[in-house]
């Protein structure tokens, strides 16, 4: 995934004429991605591009099968016809994959955004041996290639994993849940794509939290978030985080990037602790005496949705201590949110996964002037977000789409 590139229509620095041309073409595509069908005048008004320059660029994007132009839907019968430019890309396919402890998922879509197909292969991938995951990843790529209509071409693929991506973006530096260290997934992906005749596709590795946030910002929360600076607190088992700047994922490759789990909070009866130790789902189940420690850890590890359901059921049944444990956890979460907002200047906070479910039951008492959005648990957001990330990667390099 590319690093955050600043404002939507900021000029590129350095590089040759071809670099600048591709940069400007990408900006037009991103504008259409974010705003939908638009007139040439609307695109030009939001850019530093003149209408004559924009006309040539739209012609080039048409030739690449990335946009189409037709009469605006609201065109009246009188007056000069108004044409609307739309992101098309129906000839080009992007794919998102998710690798996690419970297996591999994949989805495909056109660059224009139409969903094509879904795939899932379940297995226990814990234990540190990456070989089974790589075999499953290869099988998923074969499914992607075989499922594509012969008239279409696979052009980009993003693989999302839990953990930390290396600074160069080509390997999993560390994944505690999978037990991985320095695993080069991209080599296997590229090799399988080459064997399937798709060696020209853009291939990227992304952190699961980053693509989950991107999926929400590009999908169901697009209108609400816009281009505001947004923080993502999510996770099925414990806290994962991400940052969106101007609607784009901030990817630094740093081990501490969006490490919201490590924010120090004052926990009632415990003193100062890391957020993930205070609000981990297993901790809540244990503190509320819903399960003993070992049973809670095992349940959360293997069946996180069942673990969340057992805590919610305890709340509904008036289980002693569950309500007070949740209220205390939400106060600690509010502290972490306010700390992150103060440092990053965020305007929106998304609470996803089990945190989203719990925060929809008891609001975190956040004093900061920030829009807090609590969402239900929905792990497919990760693979959905990987599809959005793959599309973004392709839109960033339109001139190379036929390579």
Band of the pLDDT at 251, cuts 50, 70, 90?
A: low
pLDDT (mean) for 165-174: 87
Please provide residue 120's backbone torsions phi and psi, each rounded to the nearest 5 degrees: -150, 140
| Burial of 69 (C-beta count, 10 Å sphere; 0-12/13-18/19+) | middle
Give me the pLDDT at residue 15, please.
Answer: 53
Give me the pLDDT at residue 16, please.
Answer: 64
Of all residues in the chain, what percent carry a pLDDT higher than 90? 60
Residue 10 has pLDDT above 60, yes or no: no
Distance CA 325, CA 89 (A): 50
Spatial CA neighbour of 359 closest among 317, 324, 399, 327: 327
Residue 167 has pLDDT above 90, yes or no: no
Residue 12 has pLDDT above 50, yes or no: no
Give me the pLDDT at residue 216, please.
Answer: 92
Q: Which residue has the higher pLDDT, 52 or 25?
A: 25
Band of the pLDDT at 141, cuts 50, 70, 90?
A: very high
Q: Do domains 92-213+382-400 and 222-378 have the same CATH topology?
A: yes
Band of the pLDDT at 77, cuts 50, 70, 90?
A: low
Residue 255 has pLDDT above 50, yes or no: no
Residue 64 has pLDDT above 70, yes or no: yes
Band of the pLDDT at 11, cuts 50, 70, 90?
A: very low
| pLDDT tens digits, 352-387 | 999 999 999 999 999 989 999 999 777 678 999 999
Q: Which residue has the higher pLDDT, 6 or 214?
A: 214
Residue 7 has pLDDT above 70, yes or no: no
CB-based contact 158:211 (threshold 8 Å): yes
Band of the pLDDT at 250, cuts 50, 70, 90?
A: confident
70-74, 129-133, 177-181, 306-310: least confidently modelled range? 70-74
Please provide residue 185's backbone torsions phi and psi, each rounded to the nearest 5 degrees: -75, -35
Q: Give 110's contacts (C-beta < 8 A, 6+ positions apart).
A: 89, 90, 91, 92, 93, 94, 116, 152
Residue 2 has pLDDT above 60, yes or no: no
CB-based contact 67:87 (threshold 8 Å): yes
Please name the fold of domain 17-87.
Answer: Arc Repressor Mutant, subunit A (1.10.10)
Give me the pLDDT at residue 123, please.
Answer: 95
Class of domain 92-213+382-400: alpha beta
Domain boundaries, the chain: 17-87, 92-213+382-400, 222-378
pLDDT (mean) for 334-359: 94
pLDDT (mean) for 54-74: 83
Distance CA 333, CA 348 (A): 15
Mean pLDDT of the chain: 87
Give me the pLDDT at residue 148, please.
Answer: 94
1-5, 126-130, 248-252, 325-329: least confidently modelled range? 1-5
| pLDDT tens digits, 196-232 | 999 989 999 999 999 999 999 988 898 899 889 999 9
Q: Which residue has the higher pLDDT, 73 or 96?
A: 96
Other C-beta atoms lying within 10 Å of the C-beta of residue 385: 29
Class of domain 222-378: alpha beta
pLDDT (mean) for 261-269: 89
State the residue for tokens 């930390």: 164
Q: Which residue has the higher pLDDT, 403 or 89?
A: 89
pLDDT (mean) for 133-138: 96
């Amino acid at each position: 995934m590319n690093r955050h590139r600043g404002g939507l229509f900021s000029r590129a620095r350095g590089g040759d004429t071809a670099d600048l041309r591709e940069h400007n073409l990408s900006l037009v595509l991103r504008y259409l991605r974010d705003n939908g069908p638009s007139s040439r005048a609307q695109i030009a008004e939001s850019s530093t591009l003149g209408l004559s320059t924009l006309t040539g660029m739209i012609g080039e994007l048409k030739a690449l099968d990335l946009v189409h132009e037709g009469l605006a839907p609201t065109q009246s019968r009188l007056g000069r016809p108004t044409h609307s430019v739309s992101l098309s890309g129906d000839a080009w396919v992007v794919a998102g994959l998710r690798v996690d402890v419970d297996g591999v998922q994949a989805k495909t879509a056109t660059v224009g955004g139409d969903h094509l197909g879904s795939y899932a292969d379940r297995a226990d991938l814990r234990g540190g041996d990456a070989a089974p995951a790589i075999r499953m990843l290869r099988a998923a790529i074969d499914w992607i290639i075989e499922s594509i209509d012969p008239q279409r071409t696979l052009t980009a693929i993003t693989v999302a994993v839990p953990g930390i991506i290396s600074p160069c973006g080509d390997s999993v530096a560390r994944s505690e849940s999978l037990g991985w260290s320095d695993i080069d997934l991209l080599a296997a992906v590229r090799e399988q794509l080459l064997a399937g005749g798709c060696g020209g596709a853009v291939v990227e590795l992304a952190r699961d939290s980053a693509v989950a946030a991107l999926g929400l910002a590009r999908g169901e929360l697009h209108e609400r978030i816009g281009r505001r600076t947004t923080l993502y607190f999510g996770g099925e088992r414990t806290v994962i985080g991400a940052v969106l700047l101007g609607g784009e994922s901030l990817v630094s490759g740093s081990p501490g990037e969006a490490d919201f789990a490590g924010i120090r909070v004052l926990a009632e009866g415990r003193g100062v602790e890391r957020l993930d130790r205070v609000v981990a789902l297993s901790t809540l189940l244990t503190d509320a005496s819903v399960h003993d420690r070992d049973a809670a850890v095992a349940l959360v590890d293997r069946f996180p949705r069942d673990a969340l359901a057992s805590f919610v059921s305890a709340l509904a049944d008036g289980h002693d201590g569950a309500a007070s444990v949740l209220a205390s956890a939400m106060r600690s979460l509010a502290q972490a949110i306010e700390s992150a907002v103060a440092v990053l200047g965020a305007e929106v906070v998304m609470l996803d996964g089990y945190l989203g479910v719990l925060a929809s039951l008891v609001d975190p008492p956040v004093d900061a002037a920030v829009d807090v959005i609590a969402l239900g648990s929905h792990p497919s957001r990760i693979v959905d977000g990987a599809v959005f990330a793959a599309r973004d990667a392709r839109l960033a390099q339109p001139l190379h789409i036929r390579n």
